[in-house]
Amino acid sequence: MMQQSLTIRDAIIQRRSIKAFNGQPVERDILLSIMEDSIWAPNHQNRQPWRFVVACGKELLDLYDVLKEFAIPKWKELTDEELEKQMKKFTNPGGYIFVIVPEDARQKERLEDYAAASMLIQNIQLLAWDRGIGSCWKTPGFLDSPKFREALGVKQGERIISMLQVGYFDEMPKPKERKHVDELITIFGE
């Protein structure tokens, strides 16, 4: 039986950041299909200011080595058991998408590009959610490490704005309280 798609409203309201992935791999064709649809995000002058480094399947093992090196600086001092425990947060997601944007020297264009790429990431998250795949947008400090950037093939003049973890999960996180919209809106002139 085919899963019925969520309405846009349901996807926006129901989507949660998933941190407890169950380790099941995300199939490459599904992930690439999600990404193919996500690139329809609005972007000024159709610059499409993004590119990706994707890992799912067999290349995850190589990515784990890179993440271990940069995310767990003292990993060589840990026991195998301690290291495995630390690495769980990286090995449980079923895939990764690193979103890379140009660092335009012009502030206006740089902000437009970042905003467009942020919309693209939201598209990925909503499209994945519609397929029962969770995600979590992470921005750890090591994304700016020159050696990490080199390992991912990030060029000078580019920036990694997201380490998007994607994967399947068993438990739905409880929603966190949101401010009521009345607290956030000021009607012009009132």
Residues tagged in the binding site annotation for FMN: 15-17, 44, 137-139
Which residues are bridge partners to 100 per DSSP? 51, 160
Q: CA-CA distances (angstroms) from residue 163 to 34, 69, 79, 99, 109?
A: 16, 16, 27, 7, 22
Residue 2 pLDDT > 80: no
Could you read off the pLDDT of 53-74 as tens digits, one per residue?
999 989 999 999 999 999 988 8
> Domains in the chain and their CATH numbers?
20-170 (3.40.109.10)
Angle between helices 60-71 and 80-91 (to 10 degrees): 120
Residues tagged in the binding site annotation: 15-17, 44, 137-139
- The amino acid occupying position 106 is R
Predicted TM-score (pTM) of this structure:
0.91
Contact 60, 96 (CB under 8 A): yes
Contact 102, 154 (CB under 8 A): no
